[in-house]
Structure 1
Amino acid sequence: MKVAVVAHRRKVLGGGLGELRRRLEQAGAGEVDWREVPKSKKAPKQVRKAVEAGADLLFVWGGDGMVQRCVDTVAGTGVTVAIVPAGTANLFASALRIPRDIRAAVEIGLRGERVRYDLGKIDGEHFAVMAGAGFDAAMIEDADRRMKKRSGRFAYVRTALRHVRDEPVHTIVHLDDELWFEGPSTCLLLGNIGTISGGIKAFDDASPFDGRLEVGVATARGALQWARTVAAMATGRTDRSRFVRMGSARRVYAEFAEPVLLELDGGARKRVKRLEAEAVPAAVTVAVPRR
């Protein structure tokens, strides 16, 4: 088994990358193809090089953004991804029950069960957890690196307060080629895995094994309506909120009256006036704890 590491060198966990090296050596990983990057968007190039060099097990050190860049690169290949959750948000790792512990993550990567997971895909780029356009993307973009380092997940709360009064945008959404929603909205979410920050279930029925994406459109506007919406999500009653409409599809097409910001797994992208998304069944193999 040829092992490679692609690490976001600015992310911190336990004894850092030095401990990861030691744990891999002690666990018998052999000669490791070691690669570090200063930011997640630099990861795909190094992942491709590692795969070309023969890696069949790829350890990814970082948060959801780093994991997203890496699974997007290896999707559809035979490479297994092993996550070492060293980011601010580690929603995919949490959903897979991978602890924030270097020794445990190494053991899972080397000897854990191999499971194939669905991914979502928007305009050619894969995501593992969730994609969004509108409110959540604007919130994420504002939580810059220094704020997240200083405040952790609270950074998202602070930036959310800046955007609760954002104006809605006229939105049209088709699910599997059928018109599903038309009207003003403040957020469009696409979920492959249902849980977001704070353990809140955004999509109660989301599964990374059903070949479908969960879809939610929020019409909440203002602090009170958003507070009611989040309260419904926190109590597991998202579909009962008057400010949320929920559905499910293999393919999603959306149009917006004006450009809105897009995010994939917590990483802000560009502003878009339309998007095309689909579920990609069994797209990536991930190492998870043995049952």
Structure 2
Amino acid sequence: MLHTGAVDGGDDKRPVTADNHTPRSAVVVNPVKVTDLDDFRRTVDGALAAAGWPEPTWYETTVEDPGRGQAAAAVEAGAEVVFACGGDGTVMACVTALAGTDVALAVLPQGTGNLLAANLGLSNDLAAGLEVAVERGMRRLDVGAVGDQCFAVMAGMGFDAQMLDSTSETTKRRIGWPAYLVGAAKHLRDRPMRVSIRIDDGPPLRRRARSVLIANVGRLQGGVRLLTDAEPDDGWLDVAVLTPRTLGHWLAMGWAVLRRRDSVPRMEVLRGRKVVITSNRAQPRQLDGDLIEPGRSLKAEIRPESLWLCVPRPERHPDLSVDAGAAAERGERLVEEARRE
């Protein structure tokens, strides 16, 4: 079942197909993110049963292990689909465990700022996440690797990680993803970092940047699309170098992003398969919206077509979130059917 290195994207190897009516599944849940775990479990078990799936195996994350070990145990036990239920840290841990295997990841977001869920158009909609999985829309995605960890959406160094670090959990619970704007406002006037950026075997590029993002997919918190050309399975990492220096620069850049302009002022876009960022001083860093230890460098490389992901149909659409709204409506009917039984 396990692969090493890159794998091809042949549909003949997909873990759950239309003729497999009883796929084995597991749920990796962060109990801290779920208000009523017993009710949550009844809802998930009931919806999967209504769809004809057998009862999943449940694994709870811990402070010491946010999901990687649990997802690996699910793979070892024969799961064909692993549901990641939690915030960015839980999802990223499951991505790391499942990359390179023929086991699919399904996202049931329970955090307030889940980056992968935002790119799937799922928000915190449990019904939509369940429906996307049971409809068997699947796509093999690239992942980025930073050391022994993998990310599905993006890694970052500088302002983006500062914003995450300055956003309180209380505010996120109260107002959702707009809480990140509050965290961002605290750092708009911070001094830039001096960075060297090496793409593949090219010469180092030197910049004074506020943030450098290494992206596999282009959406940020709240579904805002930063990189319009980023594709999740094209074998490339898209690198955004943000160089605003004044509040006016930030406003111009934000307006262009919101308007989905092809050219964004104060943002340089590069592309490569291996990216090394080196700063003149230690910087906060993040993977898929989850903070990692600060450091002076961030090294990422692409692992093409390494992860099976449950996505809304049609699964080959360039936008991973296409049909997510309709899937949510169908999912509500599935959940209601489960509750009647």
TM-score by length of 1: 0.91
Q: Name the residue aligned to 2:116.
A: 92
Aligned positions, number: 290
Q: Name the residue aligned to 1:172.
A: 196
Aligned AA (1:201): R
For residues 45 and 99 of structure 1, the distance between their equivalents in structure 2, rounded to whole angstroms, comes to: 25
For residues 218 and 261 of structure 1, the distance between their equivalents in structure 2, rounded to whole angstroms, comes to: 15
Contact 1:8 1:39 in 2 (8 A): no
For residues 12 and 227 of structure 1, the distance between their equivalents in structure 2, rounded to whole angstroms, comes to: 36
Q: Deviations over 1:127-176 (max 9, x none)?
A: 01111100010110121323321231122111111111111111000111
How far apart are residue 72 of structure 1 and its match?
Answer: 1.0
How far apart are residue 233 of structure 1 and its match?
Answer: 1.5
Pick from 274, 295, 300 the counterpart of residue 251 of structure 1. Answer: 274
Q: Name the residue aligned to 2:184.
A: 160
Q: Name the residue aligned to 1:289.
A: 312
For residues 32 and 221 of structure 2, the distance between their equivalents in structure 1, rounded to whole angstroms, comes to: 21
Pick from 23, 27, 42 the counterpart of residue 5 of structure 1. Answer: 27
Contact 1:238 1:244 in 2 (8 A): no
The yes-or-no answer on 1:56 pairing with 2:80 is yes
Pick from 71, 82, 106 the counterpart of residue 95 of structure 2. Answer: 71
Deviating more after overlay: 53-62 vs 71-80: 53-62
Q: Percent identity over the alignment?
A: 33
Deviating more after overlay: 12-21 vs 101-110: 12-21
How far apart are residue 103 of structure 1 and its match?
Answer: 3.5
How far apart are residue 106 of structure 1 and its match?
Answer: 2.2
Q: Name the residue aligned to 2:221.
A: 197
Contact 1:118 1:192 in 2 (8 A): yes
How far apart are residue 38 of structure 1 and its match?
Answer: 5.0
Q: Name the residue aligned to 1:127.
A: 151
Q: Deviations over 1:27-52 (max 9, x none)?
A: 23213211122569521121122122
Q: Name the residue aligned to 2:46.
A: 22
For residues 205 and 261 of structure 2, the distance between their equivalents in structure 1, rounded to whole angstroms, comes to: 20
Matching of residues 108-119 of structure 1 within 5 Å: 108-119=132-143
How far apart are residue 111 of structure 1 and its match?
Answer: 3.4
Q: Are the structure 2 counterparts of residues 97 and 201 from structure 1 closer, same or farther at C-alpha, using a change threshold of 3 Å?
A: closer
Indicate the SS of the match to 1:220.
coil
Which of the two has greater strand per residue?
1
Indicate the SS of the match to 2:227.
coil
How far apart are residue 21 of structure 1 and its match?
Answer: 2.4
Indicate the SS of the match to 2:235.
coil
Q: Are the structure 2 counterparts of residues 277 and 83 from structure 1 closer, same or farther at C-alpha, using a change threshold of 3 Å?
A: same
For residues 298 and 224 of structure 2, the distance between their equivalents in structure 1, rounded to whole angstroms, comes to: 26
Pick from 276, 294, 311 the counterpart of residue 271 of structure 1. Answer: 294
Q: Are the structure 2 counterparts of residues 139 and 100 from structure 1 closer, same or farther at C-alpha, using a change threshold of 3 Å?
A: closer
For residues 36 and 217 of structure 1, the distance between their equivalents in structure 2, rounded to whole angstroms, comes to: 38
For residues 305 and 294 of structure 2, the distance between their equivalents in structure 1, rounded to whole angstroms, comes to: 29
The yes-or-no answer on 1:33 pairing with 2:66 is no
Where structure 2 has 5 or more consecutive residues not aligned to the other structure, the ranges are 1-22, 315-341
Pick from 234, 241, 244 the counterpart of residue 210 of structure 1. Answer: 234
Contact 1:40 1:69 in 2 (8 A): no
How far apart are residue 228 of structure 1 and its match?
Answer: 1.7
Indicate the SS of the match to 2:66.
helix
How far apart are residue 98 of structure 1 and its match?
Answer: 4.4
Q: Deviations over 1:46-83 (max 9, x none)?
A: 11221222212111112333211101111001111111
Q: Name the residue aligned to 1:182.
A: 206
Aligned AA (1:32): P
TM-score by length of 2: 0.79
For residues 184 and 94 of structure 1, the distance between their equivalents in structure 2, rounded to whole angstroms, comes to: 29
Contact 2:111 2:124 in 1 (8 A): no
For residues 53 and 285 of structure 1, the distance between their equivalents in structure 2, rounded to whole angstroms, comes to: 18
For residues 270 and 238 of structure 1, the distance between their equivalents in structure 2, rounded to whole angstroms, comes to: 33
Q: Deviations over 1:75-106 (max 9, x none)?
A: 00111111113221233234334474434422
For residues 151 and 214 of structure 1, the distance between their equivalents in structure 2, rounded to whole angstroms, comes to: 30
